[in-house]
Amino acid sequence: MKIEGLLSEKYIKLNLELATKAEVIDRMLLIAGTHPGVQNLSKLRHDVLKREKEMSTGIGKQIALPHAKTDAVSVPVLALATLKNRINFESIDNEPVGVVFLLATPEEMLAEHLKFLGRITRLAGRADVREKLMAALASSDVLELFREEEKDFPQI
């Protein structure tokens, strides 16, 4: 599976107007919570927030990647949002965040979870990809971007 295979237009929101890290995580959970693979939204919220308390998922380069390995989902779930105004996410590089991914995978899918985290970090960590994400006007543009960027990548 590839990133564009995990995402669909329903789980991509562009230019959200949010002001705090907590608001961003809450909105990402609401977006992801509509996915049929989410079995227990309150458990997913608990697991994502627990992971966030361990260490901020502001991974640098204006990207946040809240995530959890959890039995709250039956399949990998991915949501993406861009923010109208960058916000403080307590990132490792102290840069405010403009692109947010939320990833949740079943606990038994540790290898896939790590591969998805790595692929998202590699792709979104590129300045050209980030710029295209921030400039996207439609969810379909985001899907096409990942389709194009991952065309030569192996399946996870």
In this predicted structure, which of 1-5, 45-49, 52-56, 100-104 has the lowest mean pLDDT? 1-5
pTM of the model: 0.95
Predicted confidence at residue 156, as pLDDT, reads 74
**Domains of the chain in sequence order:** 3-149 (3.40.930.10)
Quote the tokens at residue 85.
């105004």
| Catalytic site includes residue 35 | no
Contacts of 20 (CB under 8 A, 6+ apart): 87
Whether the predicted pLDDT of 151 surpasses 90: no
Mean pLDDT of 56-79: 96
Taking only the tens place, the pLDDT of each residue in 68-122 is 999 999 999 999 999 999 999 999 999 999 999 999 999 999 999 999 999 999 9
Contacts of 115 (CB under 8 A, 6+ apart): 156
**Catalytic, out of 35, 46, 67, 113:** 67
Q: Where are the alpha helices (DSSP H) in the chain?
A: 3-6, 21-32, 41-54, 110-124, 127-135, 139-149
